[in-house]
Amino acid sequence: MYDKIIDKILKSLNWNLTAAAYPKFSGEGYVPYKLDKKNFHGIKKSISGKKIAFIDGGNAEIIGSANFSLNLIRICYAVHQNNKKIAIRKFEIFAFTEALNKDNEIHYATSFFNMKNPLEFHDVTFSSLDNTLMLGISRAGIAAATNAVRRFAELKLAKLVADEKISDIIVLDGSLQATLTDESRYLSELYDSCSRNNVVLSALSKTSSLFTDNGNLLSVVLDSISTLPYWYYHPIVKISSPSHKAEMFFAKFHEKSKHIFRFEVFNEQKTRAEGAINDLACNCLDPIFIGYPYGLVEADRVARVGNNEKESLKTMFLVKLKNKNIEKYVSSVNAHEILDRISF
């Protein structure tokens, strides 16, 4: 049986990777270019002296149920220059989200409690039937609203970096596509700040699920047809979507890397993309994750909320609440946690 399964897997992967194909994009506003070897460009690793700010965020639910959730959101920027860390700073916010009845429908309203930092937040409200949060046809869970808020926090931090001219280049974790309700507003403010302050805005996706029109994985096809040790690929698609103001590239930043990353630059700054790619490649030398910017590794590490920290905060809040009713709410969602702890 196992041999048949393995054969099936191998047959599904045994496609002609060098066959002509087009990238496949969903939605309107994307006109793909046919894949062509002439669109591969060598990366010229350069130490230009430019400052690069890497931005990432993390969050952990401290205490919650299906109708409320208290999260610690932590966002971080790590600034590198000449491949050396010159600054790193984190910001922490408690975000309390609760389910409320608004216009005869359930909404998730988030209030913020800043912890001595300059990032100002206003309350955010999502409908639980917001299709940018929903998974399938089911009402969005309260965690989806918190994850959206964390994304907004990352964009606000990026704007702070641009406003204060902390770096010459900003690298976000993810993409420049607005996929959430109201996300376009945060991105628009960030675009304006970067343009005004001459800061290049970019984003790097750790994973990419883009396909070719024959059903293959785009990153695998590109890696298979390239003859260069490290490279960037462009052009790949013409984007006219108002919610995705980006010029898209794919890049392999180191010859020993096993990863191909999607890289985007604010479309009004596309003439500066090659320089940003060359600078970024110099930050992808660390063996801890060869071919991936070490600045993003640092930002992820600092922004991550560990389990020990989470449990410590949870204990503190439960003690301060001193209300047995809270246990009824928490118990409504922790059955999986109990099963995970059971060993046979």
Q: What angle do CA 21, 22, 23 make, to 5 degrees?
A: 125
pLDDT in tens, 158-208: 999 999 999 999 999 999 999 999 999 999 999 999 999 999 999 999 877
- pTM score, two decimals? 0.91
From 115, 70, 108, select the one nearest 92 (Cα to Cα): 115
Q: Which CATH class is domain 40-305?
A: alpha beta
Compute and round to an integer the Cα radius of gyration of the chain: 22
Residue 291: helix, strand or coil by DSSP? coil
As beta bridge partners, residue 53 has 79, 170
What residues contact 207, with CB distance under 8 A and at least 6 apart?
Answer: none
Distance CA 219, CA 232 (A): 11
The first and second tokens of residue 114, run together, are: 């800043």
Residue 48, classified by CB atoms within 10 Å of its CB into exposed (0-12), middle (13-18) or buried (19+), is: middle
The first and second tokens of residue 185, run together, are: 């507003």
Residue 2: what pLDDT?
78
The first and second tokens of residue 173, run together, are: 């974790």
Cβ atoms of 91 and 74 closer than 8 Å: yes
Query: What is the DSSP secondary structure assignment for residue 198, as one 8-state letter?
Result: T
Residue 327: what pLDDT?
67
What residues contact 92, with CB distance under 8 A and at least 6 apart?
Answer: 72, 73, 74, 115, 117
23 prior amide bond cis, ω within 30:
no
Q: Are strands 200-205 and 169-173 parallel, antiparallel or unpaired?
A: parallel
The first and second tokens of residue 224, run together, are: 């298979």
Residue found under tokens 């108002």: 242
Residue 14: what pLDDT?
57
Distance CA 157, CA 173 (A): 12
Neighbours of 51 (CB within 10 A): 20
Phi, psi of 23 (to 5 degrees): -65, 150
> C-alpha 256: how far from its chain's center?
24
Instruction: Give the residue extent of every domain in the chain.
Output: 40-305, 308-341
pLDDT of the chain along its 344 residues, tens only? Answer: 778 887 777 777 656 666 668 999 988 999 999 999 999 999 998 888 999 999 999 999 999 888 999 999 999 999 999 989 999 999 999 999 999 999 999 999 999 987 667 777 888 999 999 999 998 899 999 999 999 999 999 999 999 999 999 999 999 999 999 999 999 999 999 999 999 999 999 999 987 789 998 888 899 999 999 999 999 999 999 999 999 999 999 999 999 999 999 999 999 999 999 999 999 999 999 999 999 999 999 999 999 999 999 999 988 888 888 766 776 666 555 555 555 666 55
From 228, 278, 214, select the one nearest 257 (Cα to Cα): 228
Residue 7: what pLDDT?
79
Sign of CA dihedral 159, 208, 289, 49: negative
H or E element, residue 143: helix 142-163
